[in-house]
């Protein structure tokens, strides 16, 4: 007889909440966008063309495959700073992490549209460098801009 272990199944937003809970200082902002999941995720997943339209600190991003086949993003911020991210991108899930930055976006269909959640901020090795109020404010702003972008492209 095999032991029976509890199983917890998470949708992508719960997955983001759980991951952010394990990052010191991280905060999650959430918003329901009154559009279909497919419409919202089409914009989120178009990183090279759309991420800079809703992520306040991102100017440009270029995707490429690393030698190991991993999806990588070379990004430049609004102040000219550069970062190289390792990217996980699948329906409803975006996780980008560089040496000093992280960006996470998750989405699921919800009553009235699509529930979108975001987290992100600066990481400094060996210290808690994410500031919950600033992170929550920046991510709430990104989600407002995403909702406006979805409406504009509607």
Q: State the distance between the two ends of the chain, measured CA to CA, in whole angstroms.
A: 55
User: What pLDDT, on a 0 to 100 scale, did the predictor assign at position 121?
Assistant: 73
Residue recorded with tokens 């993003």: 73
The most distant pair of C-alpha atoms in the chain lies apart, rounded to whole Å, by: 60
Helices (H), the chain: 12-21, 37-45, 47-54, 132-153
Q: Provide the CATH topology of domain 13-153.
A: Alpha-D-Glucose-1,6-Bisphosphate; Chain A, domain 4 (3.30.530)
Residue recorded with tokens 């997943």: 45
Indicate the pTM of the whole model. Answer: 0.86
User: What pLDDT, on a 0 to 100 scale, did the predictor assign at position 17?
Assistant: 94
User: What pLDDT, on a 0 to 100 scale, did the predictor assign at position 1?
Assistant: 63
Ranges under pLDDT 50 in the chain: none
């Amino acid at each position: 007889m095999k032991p029976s272990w509890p199983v917890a199944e998470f949708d992508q937003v719960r997955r983001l909440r759980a991951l952010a809970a394990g990052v010191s200082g991280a905060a999650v902002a959430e918003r329901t966008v009154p559009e279909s999941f497919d419409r919202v995720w089409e914009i989120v997943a178009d990183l090279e063309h759309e991420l800079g339209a809703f992520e306040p600190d991102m100017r440009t991003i270029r995707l490429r495959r690393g030698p190991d086949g991993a999806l990588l993003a070379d990004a430049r911020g609004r102040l000219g700073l550069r970062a190289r991210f390792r990217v996980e991108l699948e329906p409803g899930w975006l996780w980008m992490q560089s040496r000093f930055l992280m960006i996470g976006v998750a989405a699921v269909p919800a009553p009235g549209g699509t529930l979108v959640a975001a987290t992100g901020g600066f990481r400094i090795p060996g210290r808690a460098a994410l500031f919950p109020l600033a992170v929550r404010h920046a991510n709430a702003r990104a989600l407002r801009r995403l909702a406006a972008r979805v409406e504009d492209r509607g």
